[in-house]
Amino acid sequence: SRFTTEVMAGNQERTFIMIKPDGVQRGLVGDIIQRFEKRGYKLVAMKFKQFDEAHLKQHYIDLADKPFYPKLCKFMSSGPVVPMVWEGKDVVKMGRAMLGATNPLQSNPGTIRGDFCIDLGRNICHGSDSVDSANKEIALWFDKTELASWSMCTGDNVYE
């Protein structure tokens, strides 16, 4: 079955991608989702919601000792965001590549940050940096029941 093929090909990896408040404000929600969708990745979960500072502090807990941590968490809770889970082959690494470098001035044109932003603190999107972080972030942002279990009708056109 297709499910067996996907499991065998290692296509079940998941990452956590989030459109930040600046990305929402600038009307980039559709474009960012479309890039993952068009590439062939499978959407597993998505929300549109404002979260409180405590939640963002937990999300960025690894950066707690950085000077920009309070400002970052405050900004991230200043408006609605679009947290998402995307699934597919090598999607953690590829998601980061699609986002571009953390500093938009070092992001190549063609990447999300390289196409749409300039400043480090307004880099419009988040993506998990490892499978381990992805699992932690998915568990923080989504309840198990919010992860959709479905098969895309791509047949054998995305994966050989």
Buried b (16+ CB within 10 A) or exposed e, 86-111: bbbbebbbbbbebbbbeebeebeeeb
Integer Cα distance of 69 and 128 in angstroms? 17
Rounded to an integer, what distance in angstroms lies between the CA atom of residue 55 and that of residue 46? 17
The answer to the question of whether 20 is labelled as a binding residue is: yes
Give the separation between CA 144 and CA 103, rounded to whole angstroms.
Answer: 33
Residue choice 13, 123, 134, 138 for contact with ligand IDP (CB under 6 A): 123
Residues β-bridged to residue 109: 111
Choice from 45, 72, 81, 98 touching ligand IDP (CB under 6 A): 72
- For ligand IDP, which residue of 102, 106, 108, 154 counts as binding (CB under 6 A)? 102
Binding stretches for Mg ion (CB under 5 A): 129
Q: Catalytic site residue 126?
A: yes
Is 53 a binding residue for ligand IDP by CB under 6 A? The answer is no
Which of 88, 126, 134, 142 is labelled catalytic? 126
Footprint on this chain of ligand IDP (rule: CB under 6 A): 63, 68, 72, 102, 120-121, 123, 126, 129
Residues of the binding site for ATP: 20, 68, 96, 102, 113, 123
